[in-house]
């Protein structure tokens, strides 16, 4: 039943959820992988980055009356090792950059530790990659 509900929610996202999903999907946000409307236990979360154990919820006005059930849900998810961030629809719509900054601040706070000496290397630009592979790139005169 939960999987079917998740599928319905994926097709009926709010404008705020759609806006945030556009920015989070396909590794667009700091290279992290997010999934949307995913069942975790008996709950369906709006967005989750499993690698960072981070859940993002985008709440509409209906959540103003359900704060106790939201808190119970958040506590259960936290007991499972997740961190839960909640944003109101209007925050996502009117202050998207601020929402993304808050999300970014919460990365790296998981119990996961990087390998010693690990470095992050940016991929080459397409022009650089093409020239390295002998293809057409920007040529000097």
pLDDT tens digit string along 55-97?
Answer: 999 988 665 556 788 899 999 999 999 999 999 999 999 999 9
The Cα diameter of the chain in Å comes to 68
Is residue 33 scored above 80 in pLDDT? yes
> Which residues are bridge partners to 44 per DSSP?
39
Look at residue 29 and tell me whether its pLDDT is greater than 80: yes
Please state, in angstroms and rounded to a whole number, the distance separating the CA atoms of residues 48 and 61.
22
* Element at 91 (helix H, strand E): helix 89-94
- What would the two tokens of residue 108 be? 């790296």
Q: Which of 60, 111, 64, 116 has its CA nearest to residue 83?
A: 111
Among candidate residues 103, 54, 107, the one with its CA nearest the CA of residue 82 = 54
The answer to whether the pTM exceeds 0.85 is: no
Domains of the chain: 2-132 (3.40.960.10)
**Per-residue pLDDT for 2 more than 70?**
no
């Amino acid at each position: 039943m939960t999987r079917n509900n998740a599928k319905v929610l994926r097709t009926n996202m709010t404008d705020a959820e759609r806006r945030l999903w556009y920015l989070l999907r396909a590794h667009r946000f700091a290279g992290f992988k997010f999934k949307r409307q995913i069942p975790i236990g008996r709950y369906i979360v709006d967005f989750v980055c499993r690698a960072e154990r981070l859940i993002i919820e985008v709440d509409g006005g209906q959540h103003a009356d359900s704060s106790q059930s939201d808190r119970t849900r958040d506590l259960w998810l936290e007991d499972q090792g997740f961190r839960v961030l909640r944003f109101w629809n209007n925050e996502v719509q009117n202050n998207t950059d601020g929402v993304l900054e808050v999300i970014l601040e919460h990365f790296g706070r998981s119990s996961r530790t990087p390998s010693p000496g690990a470095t992050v290397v940016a991929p080459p630009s397409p022009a650089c990659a093409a020239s390295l592979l002998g293809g057409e790139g920007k040529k000097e005169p």
